[in-house]
Chains A and B, each alone.
Chain A
Amino acid sequence: MKNLKKSIDVPEKAMNAVFALCGFLAVAFVLVITVFLVISGIPAIGKIGITDFLFGTTWASTAAQPQYGILPFILTSVLGTAGAIVIGVPIGLMCAVYLAKMSVGKSTAVVRTAVDLLSGIPSVVYGLLGMIIIVPLVREIFDLPDGANLFSAIIVLAVMILPSVISVSETAIKAVPKEYEEASLALGATKTETVFKVVLPAAKSGILTAVVLGIGRAIGEAMAVMMVAGNVANMPKLFQSVRFLTTAVASEMSYSSGLQRQALFSIALVLFVFIMIINLILNFVVKRGDSNE
């Protein structure tokens, strides 16, 4: 009997070690990436000067007199993400309400499958469709010389954040106790009033989580926006060609050298800081939601 136990013990312990190793591997990756980005991103900021870098309005990395101001990229990323949230969150939220409360039988399955598929579509496909359909459409509808601009990027990003917004807020809405709803209906409120005045406020923290996740997805997207935003380093205007933080790194990295390359790492560092802040907010929102319950 003792022997049998031992023979089970050995693989058990070995597997424990493997699990632990894999767990720490993730930590190691995060640490390595952080350390790498900080080490390779700091020197250029030092050489360019932090105010010139963060608040400079001209990016001309290959000019005879190079300038490395990334304010246009920062503002574009912030505005593009905000625009995507403004358009994407209401649609996603109402879709989630439909899935959680209104739909019945087959239609639920159809909508849910579509949302799942939407999340599985690679970003390059979103970009391609944006480039071939949205960009010419925006050009014609708004009578512009060219349709590759911030607005097209916002549309593409709004569609891209839908799946995460829908699935997280649907879960949150479903978690609202049924009694709340029944009480509201029993008091004579209509279904719509119940949804907007009782269910959504009760699911607030979950919906906030969905919004923050959407922000994270939108600000980190590179491929799709690169194909629809035009990529000129202008200060952002709705109908002008713009460049995001992500695309600034992606479009020049393959050829860059010297200070230009270091500056690209610095942009990546700025983007990383943004994502970290968003994650901290997410943690805060989730924690506060937990303590409320």
Chain B
Amino acid sequence: MKKFITTLLAVGISAALAGCGGTSPTENVTAQTVSTDGSTSMEKVIGYLSEAYMSENSGTKITYNPTGSGAGIQAVSEGRCDIGLSSRDLKPEEAETLDSEVIAIDGIAMIVNPQNPVSDLTIEQIGKLYKGEIVNWSEVGGSDAPVVLIGREAASGTRDGFESITETEDACKYTQELTSTGDVVQTVSSNPNAIGYASLASVKDSVKLLSVEGVTPTTETIQNGTYKIQRNFVFVTPKNKELSEAAQSFMDYALSVAADEMIEKAGAVPVKR
């Protein structure tokens, strides 16, 4: 019993100590905070942008709350954050009270094994492949072999983007759900019957890049919109309210040429100016 009490005390004391750590005012009082809230797919882009921005503007702190595009738009319209992050364009009724600015484009490349003779698919064919309606490569002009569908884990932003564009939400019959883009590329490169999707920036020579509806994904075709499997990363701001100085400055930075490098590093395509 005595031992038990001692342990409880130890646990209690450590908990109390941890509590103190949390409340001690370590932040600079004059620091400005820019809060962003929204799309989980934009995590990397926001991460790179805010890190670069904060290293130059030490007085500003940028926070990011990964809640999803819908929740982010909701939050900015209710004034709970400075900038809402959305990986889809605003709906007309949302656009009545909110402004949007595209900061980057997410291009999702379709990849197959280099041995696969298929080099072009339509979005409809891709949707049917992933829904399990086409199960043999011969149905889309390939050799007589079963289709192996490689995808990402349920919470991935790339999967979310891919499934919404190909209209296969919650209907994909994946053979493998992998947790990183690198794993997808590696698996597709080692299985002759595999097809997968990945951010354009992470595609390597070990796999074959498919054109979609006749258009090969490149920075250019993504920027001019001819490559279809893409979506916008959008900053959402309220129409009726001025942004705080810090938020405006961060937004200006995100839209500047200087940010392009960071956006590319994060695996997205910068907007054409």
Contacts and interface: CB of A to CB of B under 8 A. Distances in A.
Interface residues of A, number: 35
Interface in A132-157: 132, 135-136, 139, 145-148
A231 B179 contact: yes
A281 interface: no
Interface stretch (A23-31, A46-54, A101-109, A186-194): A23-31
Contacts of B177: 230-232, 241, 243, 251
Interface in B20-59: 40
A256 interface: yes
B175 A254 contact: no
- Chain B: interface residue count, which band? 20 to 34
Interface in B145-194: 145-148, 153-157, 169-170, 174-179, 183, 186-187, 190-191, 193-194
A60 B177 CA distance: 13
Given A231-B153, A252-B155, A24 B6 contact: yes
A148 B178 CA distance: 11
Contacts of B68: 257
Given A31-B11, A62-B154, A145-B146, A232 B40 contact: no
A232 B183 contact: no
B66 interface: yes
B153 A251 contact: yes
Contact of B179 (A145, A251, A257): A251
B218 interface: no
Contacts of B191: 136, 139, 146-147
A40 interface: no
B244 interface: no
A4 interface: no
A63 interface: yes
B95 interface: no
Given A135-B190, A146-B148, A28 B7 contact: yes
Interface in B107-155: 145-148, 153-155
Interface of A: 24-25, 27-28, 31-32, 60-64, 131-132, 135-136, 139, 145-148, 226-227, 230-232, 241, 243, 250-252, 254-257, 260
Pairs A-B, 9 closest by C-beta atoms: A255-B155, A145-B146, A230-B176, A62-B154, A231-B177, A63-B170, A146-B148, A251-B153, A251-B179
